[in-house]
Amino acid sequence: MLAKRIIPCLDVRDGMTVKGVNFVNIREVGDAVELGAEYARQGADELVFLDITATHEGRKTFVDLVKKVAHKINIPFTVGGGISDIRDIDKLLSAGADKVSINSAAIRNPDLIDQMAKNFGSQFVVLAIDAKEQNGNWTAYVNGGRIATDKELYIWAREGQERGAGEILFTSMNHDGTKKGFANEALAQLSVNLSIPIIASGGAGNMEHYADVFTKGKADAGLAASIFHFNEITVPQLKEYLHKREIAVRL
């Protein structure tokens, strides 16, 4: 069995890590590069850096930040935010990113997924989907969760896989920042529908939530922010807990 991955997520604004609840009420946490380096020292499997205002404000993800991260951190990391074409992706990968996450740009131009997979390989392509559940229906949103689209979660995830995405990063907007657990039913359904890895995001509040997302939610990786940023749980504590629960992790 492949080891489940623990992935701290660093939402970045102007080089600083920030955190909100339900995509709003943002507050600063600390320097993104230093915080990422600390998680690497603790034994995190991967990191995700997302420029949360890049798409909304029409800016590009900072290549300089990626270079600093690549210089200081020795574990794989994914970068996303404000990416609109192949040139953006080439710059990020050349700067040292291991994978690139696309969200809004992929919905506006689905062919971008095909282009990424063709030019760089599916292993570099992470399709991020921010979705909100209402009356049993999951709708994908763009621009940092600000604008609803006509894309339905399961259909869009399947299309992303067929176009060449190597992973799906699914964030439940209903659960984001609430610390009440992941969207396990939706994650389990994604697992049934897809053959590529699924990264769960939104709702981690304690170690049991991680156990649930790997067993009930069938996720391949669990992403969280505030529980790590505010030292509510450390990566080593979480991995030891999961190991005792007989969930495969890299110790």
d(CA 206, CA 220): 18
The pLDDT of residue 23 is 47
Please give the model's pTM, rounded to 2 decimal places: 0.92
The number of beta carbons lying within 10 Å of the beta carbon of residue 25 is 9
pLDDT of residue 112 exceeding 50: yes
- pLDDT digit string (tens) for 51-92? 876 655 545 556 888 999 999 999 999 999 878 889 889 999
For range 168-175, the mean pLDDT: 96
Domain ranges within the chain, ordered by starting residue? 5-244
User: Would you identify the CATH topology of the domain 5-244?
Assistant: TIM Barrel (3.20.20)
What is the pLDDT at residue 60? 57
CA atoms within 13 A on the CB side of 159: 15
Catalytic residue among 88, 130, 176, 220: 130
Write down the pLDDT at residue 27: 58
Is 150 annotated as catalytic?
A: no
Catalytic residue flag (residue 114): no
Q: What is the mean pLDDT of the chain?
A: 91
What does the pLDDT look like over 113-133, one tens digit per residue? 999 999 999 999 999 999 999
pLDDT in tens, 2-16: 899 999 999 887 777
